[in-house]
Every structure is written in C-alpha cells, then in structure tokens.
Homo-oligomer: A and B are copies of this chain.
Amino acid sequence: MGEHALIARIRARLPQAPGFVVVGIGDDAAVVAPERNLLEVLTTDCQVEDVHFDRTFVGAADIGHKALAVNLSDLAAMGAAPRVALLSLVLPAAFPVSSVDALVDGMAALAARARVFIVGGNIARSPGPLIVDVTVTGSVHRRRVLTRGGAHAGDELYVTGTLGGAALGLRTLQDDPASGGVAVERYRRPEPRTRFGLMLGRNRAARACIDLSDGLADGVRQIGEASGLGAIIDAGALPIEEGATLRDALAGGEDYELLFAVSPRMRSRLRHARRLVSDLAVTRIGRLTSDRAMLLSRNGSLEELPAGFAHFS
C-alpha cells in the first residue's frame, strides 16, 4: 500500500475533527485555531521497538495506546488540557496493514477519552524497528502551569496511584508472554492522569509536578534539582503495586503516575482536588528539604536514594 493510500486509510479510522481544526490530515500541515488567552503546551515522546516494547508480548493496539499515553502524561504533569496530536509512524516493510489499523484504533480509543484530536503526522519506512513518535499539544492558563521547579523546603511529596506495577508487569510478560493481570495491564496500558493534573493546576494545590517515566527516584531527583532542594522519601509509605518490589517502585519506570509537591498550608486545596477525582489514590510519600541530599528512610535509618532507571547510558 502506498503512503497516500495508507494516510487515507488512517484518516478514515479517526473521528471527524472539531471546528477549531481548520485543516486536518492530508495537506502539507495541520492548521488549528489556538485557545484564546491560554498558553500552549507541547511535548513529544517516542516508542521504539526492542527498546520500549517487544512485539512478542505487546500488541499493536497497546503500542498505539501507550505512544499517546506517555505524551498525555507529560501534559498532565504540566497541568494542561490535551488538544491535538501528530502521529509519526516509521514502519518496517513487513508490518501488516491490519497492525497499522490496530495501532491507530488503540491510539484513537484513548484519544477519544482524553479529548485529543489527531490532526496530522507522517509515515516513513523503517529499515529495522517499528517506531511510533507522537507530538501532543495542550492548553493551560498562565498562572496554572505546573513545572518541576518552584517547590520549597518543607513541601510534602505525593504520588498518584501505585508504583512498580509496570516493572512487575514487564517482568511477568518476559517470563510468560501469555500472562495477564493488573501489573501486565499497568505496563501495557498506562493511564495518563490527565484529570488529576488539571485539578492540581486549577486548584494551584501543587508547587511542582512531574510524571514518573523513569521511576520514583528519578522523579524525586528531577524535582529536587529543578527546585534546588533535597528530599527524604519514606519507603514504608510508598503505595507499591501488589507483588512489586521496593526496587520496582523506585527504579522500575513506566508507571506514569504524577509526583508532586504540596505546601503543608495547601493541604485543603489538595483535599479538594482529590474529592473531584475520587477514584484515584493519592499518597504522601515524603518531603523536600533544604539540605540537598536525596535520602530514603527505611526501617528507621536513612540511606542514599538509588538512581532511577536510565533509558540511555
């Protein structure tokens, strides 16, 4: 199938674009009307075969879901509402059209729930791995932007959901590609915390926020570095996924939960945000310190917080 025919096929599987999309898929570029008085948030993230996923136990629909989810997670960490997405596919010659369909359908199902519209993209041939690169834009009020910086010493650190599930799920699939269960779903279909990120920003409950792509320890270090602070994490308080280890939670990566810093004086704002997104657990796991050491409190003693998962070394 030629490039133009494949683009037409993908376009036919996607819902019609809303009115703010002036030119959608099929021209040299997409054209959209910006949201008045809001800032635009832009992020891109790439899923690479044999680095981020293994096609023997991750289906095309899962890949489509995850390639969008990891970008939506970045928007959530900024407190932004998703708006439009661009899909760049680099396809091996042997990748069947039915798998392109499944990939697009997996992405489109999440896109519909997140109210983000795929308005364009690109298709190229790959001499090797399947690569799915997604760019997403969102919008946010200027005073509601959440960054990694801006936290103060004494702020309390919280995480959404559970930790370590994705690492456990990956290990489970590596042992047996046919296995299923909660952890496997956490790995295959991470759920971006879009609504909660929006609430944290609207409420101005959080002073700093990051999404956990490379493990809790990496996230804590990123917020600490950006804010010029250290941290003490309480190992006993971590909401570890059933069956996962402390190491999975700290350094496993790919949980895509939000880690954020809240001033003790803003706990009531946080309570309000939690009531609005009541199906999501939120757990206090430590605090930021003026001393820049990164520490883990475990069984009554303090140790160095381990490094996170390194994608690239």
Contact = CB atoms under 8 A, between A and B. Distances in A.
Interface stretch (A43-51, A160-168, A182-190, A279-287): A43-51
A30 interface: yes
Contacts of A33: 39-40, 142
A162 to B, nearest CB: 20
A49 B125 CA distance: 10
Interface residues of A, number: 70
Contact of A211 (B28, B44, B148): B28
A39 B28 contact: no
A86 interface: yes
A6 B88 contact: no
A77 B39 contact: no
Nearest to A4: B222
Interface in A1-56: 1-3, 6, 22-23, 26-35, 38-46, 48-52
Interface-central residue, A122, A137, A148, A311, by most chain B CB under 10 Å: A122
A124 interface: yes
Interface string A39-79: 11111111011111000000000000000000000110110
A312 B127 contact: no
A147 interface: yes
B311 A27 contact: no
A48 B145 contact: no
A52 B126 CA distance: 10
A310 to B, nearest CB: 6
A133 interface: yes
A123 interface: yes
9 contacts: A28-B74, A28-B209, A29-B80, A42-B86, A46-B124, A48-B90, A86-B135, A90-B131, A90-B133
Interface of A: 1-3, 6, 22-23, 26-35, 38-46, 48-52, 74-75, 77-78, 80, 84, 86, 88, 90-91, 119-129, 131, 133, 135, 137-138, 140, 142, 145, 147-149, 209-211, 226, 310-313
Given A2-B313, A44-B135, A127-B128, 7 more contacts: A26-B148, A28-B78, A31-B145, A32-B39, A42-B135, A90-B133, A125-B312
Q: Which 3 A-B pairs give the minimum distances between C-beta atoms?
A: A128-B128, A29-B43, A34-B34
